[in-house]
C-alpha cells in the first residue's frame, strides 16, 4: 500500500492543499491544544492546519513520500508535529486522543481491516472526543463496475485484478450502526462534488461524512 501511495504523493497536492471542507466546517469542535490523530495523513492537508492552530498532532502515514511532504511543509512553517511511519494496524499510541481524523481511508480497506479500524477508533478516542470520518457507499458510480471487474472478497469488498488495490463500500446508514452509541454531530450521504486528483480525470463519489462524539 505504501508503494502505491509513494507514486501518488509524488504529485504535489494530489488531494489538494486545503483542509477537508468537513474539518473546516466543524473546526469549533476541536479544542485549543487538542491531541489529534490524523490516520492516513497523506501530504498533510489536514494535519498541518491543525498544527498551526496549536493542536498536538500525530500524523500517521505509511508512505515515505507522504511523510517527506509533511515534514518539509512543517519545517518551512516552523510547526511541531509527530510524523509516524506506520499504518493503523501496527500503530500503538500512548494514551487516547481528543480528536481523530479518518479521511479517505475506509474505502481502500478490506472488510476485516475496516472492522479492526472501528475497534481501534473506539479504543483510541477519549470519552467525549470527536471523530471525523469519511467513506464511500454503494451509490458510488464505481460500485457496479467493480462488482463485474474486480475480485469479490466479502460484503461489498473488492480487490483489483493485479492485487494492489482494495475498495470497500458501505450500505446506506451502515456507518451509524458501526458507531451506534455515539452522538451524531453531522451525518451526510450522497453524491459528492466533481473533483480531480492531481492530473487525473474528473471524478465523483458516493460519499459518507460523519462527525461523531464518543460516549
Q: Residue 69 to residues 16, 73, 78, 197: CA-CA distances in angstroms?
A: 13, 6, 14, 16
Do the Cβ atoms of 80 and 36 come closer than 8 Å?
no
Show the domains of the chain with their CATH numbers. Answer: 1-8+31-94 (3.40.50.150), 97-193+204-215 (3.40.50.150)
CA distance 142 to 116: 25
pLDDT at 49 over 90: yes
Region 132-146: mean pLDDT is: 95
For 209, the grid coordinates are 461524512
pLDDT at 12 over 90: no
Do the Cβ atoms of 61 and 87 come closer than 8 Å?
no
pLDDT digits (tens, 9 = 90+) for 192-209: 777 555 666 677 889 999
CA distance 189 to 169: 12
pLDDT at 118 over 80: yes
CA atoms within 13 A on the CB side of 40: 18
For 67, the grid coordinates are 511523510
Do the Cβ atoms of 30 and 130 come closer than 8 Å?
yes
Do the Cβ atoms of 18 and 46 come closer than 8 Å?
no
Region 72-97: mean pLDDT is: 95
Region 98-119: mean pLDDT is: 96
Amino acid at each position: 500500500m505504501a508503494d502505491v501511495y509513494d507514486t501518488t504523493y509524488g504529485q504535489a497536492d494530489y488531494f489538494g492543499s486545503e483542509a477537508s471542507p468537513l474539518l473546516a466546517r466543524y473546526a469549533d469542535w476541536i479544542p485549543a491544544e487538542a491531541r489529534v490523530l490524523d490516520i492516513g495523513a497523506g501530504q498533510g492537508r489536514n494535519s498541518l492546519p491543525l498544527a498551526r492552530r496549536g493542536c498536538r498532532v500525530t500524523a500517521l502515514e505509511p508512505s515515505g513520500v507522504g511523510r517527506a511532504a509533511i515534514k518539509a511543509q512543517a519545517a518551512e512553517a516552523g510547526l511541531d508535529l509527530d510524523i509516524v511511519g506506520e499504518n493503523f494496524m501496527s500503530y500503538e499510541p500512548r494514551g487516547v486522543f481528543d480528536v481523530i481524523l479518518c479521511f479517505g481511508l475506509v474505502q481502500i480497506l478490506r472488510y476485516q481491516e475496516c472492522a479492526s479500524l472501528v475497534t481501534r477508533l473506539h479504543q483510541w478516542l477519549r470519552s467525549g472526543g470527536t471523530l471525523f470520518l469519511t467513506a464511500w457507499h454503494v451509490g458510488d458510480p464505481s460500485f457496479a463496475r467493480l462488482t463485474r471487474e474486480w475480485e469479490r472478497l466479502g460484503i461489498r469488498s473488492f480487490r483489483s485484478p493485479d492485487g494492489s488495490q482494495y475498495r470497500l463500500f458501505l450500505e446506506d446508514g451502515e456507518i451509524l450502526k458501526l458507531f451506534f452509541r455515539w452522538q451524531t454531530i453531522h451525518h451526510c450521504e450522497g453524491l459528492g462534488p466533481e473533483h480531480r486528483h492531481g492530473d487525473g480525470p474528473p471524478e465523483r463519489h458516493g460519499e459518507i461524512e460523519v462527525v461523531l462524539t464518543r460516549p
